[in-house]
Amino acid sequence: MRTEPAQSQSTFDFERYLAEKRALIEQELDIYLLAKEPKILWESIRYSVLEGGKRLRAILCLTTALAVIQEKLSADETLKAVLPCACAIEMIHAMSLMHDDLPSLDNDDLRRGKPTNHKVYGEAIALLAGDALLMLACETVLTRTPKTVDMETIVLVTNELCRATGADGMVGGRVYDLEFTGRVDQFRMQEGIASDTSTLELIHRGKTGALIKFSAWSGAKLMGASQNLLKGIDKFSEVLGLAFQIADDLLDVTGDANSLGKTPGKDQAANKVTWVTLFGEEETRNRLKHLEQEGLTALDNLDCAGESASALRRLLQYAIYRSN
Ligand code: GRG
């Protein structure tokens, strides 16, 4: 049971909430990514991390931290305690986009409305800048998280960040994605809807869901959330992760390059296995509506504080109905 009711949608200014949290995250990233030598490496890193992006994962991390009801820390101290982790998540996310855009993977020219990293700095630097970000993310959680959080929790959170990013998470999911690319027809002919769904979920849970789930879990964990709250947050964020990727697949067919900031129509062209390529647009929208309800129900069962409950609701809907 919630101790305070979720703020009504009309009194909660979600746009302002997003803008404030984004500003906080970007200020902090700017400090962590202070340019050094070699110049080209840091230029490439700063180009991909600092310029653009919704910051949804980092905001999710801050929001679940604020959702933990505790007397020890103020809201400002809570944000300070989780900002390093939120920024580390953005570093991992940015590096995954940089690597995903490389010619050996998606071979994209456009990202966040600008030329992709390798188009500006070359493939070798884009690859190496991504590698550097991967390590910098771990270093950031380990060395920048303040002493208000105990070291055992910091190490546990760093370990989970590695798991969510690696073979059991994002990298593994991307490999499944590669393996099934080009097999849309084979799917339709050989397997029923249920098995298509489970394969899609395998891809989505790894490629996109693992980092989103980590984002929600880590904020609450760093703030000492109870096992019960963490379990509830996991349930919610699993739905959010799936919905986020399905919405992304839908935008690939309904969006345009201007609003998306990236090239649309790539999934169809590559014959990728997505909800849209397997089931069509209408069924995809139905699935998103169903996931929205599932996510909202998961939130109703969470024991969390006022504004954060409203923010989590709105983050779910934003992930589903966004235009980029
Ligand atoms: C992690 C070592 C390592 C390598 C990367 C390439 C790869 C392995 C994984 C691909 C992960 C990927 C690109 C998944 C798609 C996730 C997705 C829908 C990204 C778009 O996220 P948004 O919309 O982007 O949040 P913005 O630009 O708003 O930040």
Ligand 1 close to Cβ of residue 215 (< 6 A):
no
Question: Which comes out higher in pLDDT, residue 194 or 287?
Answer: 287
pTM of the model: 0.95
Backbone Cα Rg of the chain: 19
Ligand 1 close to Cβ of residue 165 (< 6 A):
yes
Mean pLDDT for the stretch of residues 10-26? 95
> Mean pLDDT, the chain, as a whole number?
93
Residue 4 located in a structural domain = no
Q: What is the pLDDT of residue 191?
A: 60
Ligand 1 close to Cβ of residue 208 (< 6 A):
yes
CA distances from 104 to 96, 100, 101, 248, 249 (A): 13, 8, 8, 21, 21
* Nearest alpha carbon, ligand 1 atom 8: 171
Residue 69 located in a structural domain = yes
- Cβ neighbors of 185 (< 8 A, separation 6 or more) are none
Ligand 1 close to Cβ of residue 171 (< 6 A):
yes
Distance in angstroms (rounded) separating the CA atoms of residues 91 and 88: 5
Confidence of residue 5 (pLDDT cuts 50, 70, 90): very low
Q: What is the pLDDT of residue 232?
A: 97
Report pLDDT digits (tens) over 87-138.
999 999 999 999 999 999 999 999 999 999 999 999 999 999 999 999 999 9
Ligand 1 close to Cβ of residue 105 (< 6 A):
yes
Report pLDDT digits (tens) over 288-316.
999 999 999 999 999 776 799 999 999 99
Task: Using most ligand atoms within 8 A of CB, pick from 97, 134, 267 the residue to mutate for ligand 1.
Answer: 97
Residue 1 located in a structural domain = no
Residue 5 located in a structural domain = no
Distance in angstroms (rounded) separating the CA atoms of residues 205 and 50: 26
- Would the pLDDT of 1 be above 90? no
Residue 88 located in a structural domain = yes
Residue 132 located in a structural domain = yes
Ligand 1 close to Cβ of residue 285 (< 6 A):
no
- Cβ neighbors of 295 (< 8 A, separation 6 or more) are 236, 239, 240, 243, 316
Confidence of residue 46 (pLDDT cuts 50, 70, 90): very high
Q: Which domain holds residue 32?
A: 10-321
Nearest atom within ligand 1 for CA of residue 106: 6
Residue 3 located in a structural domain = no
Q: For the domain that residue 61 is a member of, what is the CATH number?
A: 1.10.600.10
Q: Is the dihedral of CA 73, 65, 167, 124 positive or negative?
A: negative
Nearest atom within ligand 1 for CA of residue 170: 9
Q: With CA atoms as reference, report the closest residue to 312 among 301, 296, 323.
A: 296
Q: What is the pLDDT of residue 4?
A: 42
φ and ψ at 32, to 5 degrees? -65, -25
Ligand 1 close to Cβ of residue 225 (< 6 A):
no
Ligand 1 close to Cβ of residue 53 (< 6 A):
yes
Report pLDDT digits (tens) over 225-272.
999 999 999 999 999 999 999 999 999 999 999 999 999 998 888 889
φ and ψ at 260, to 5 degrees? -75, -30
| Number of separate domains in the chain | 1
Query: Residue 308's CB: how many other CB atoms inside 10 A?
Result: 26
Cα(273) to ligand 1 centroid in Å equals 17
Distance in angstroms (rounded) separating the CA atoms of residues 287 and 291: 6
Task: Using most ligand atoms within 8 A of CB, pick from 100, 104, 134, 204 the residue to mutate for ligand 1.
Answer: 100
Residue 2 located in a structural domain = no
Report pLDDT digits (tens) over 180-199.
998 887 776 566 555 568 88
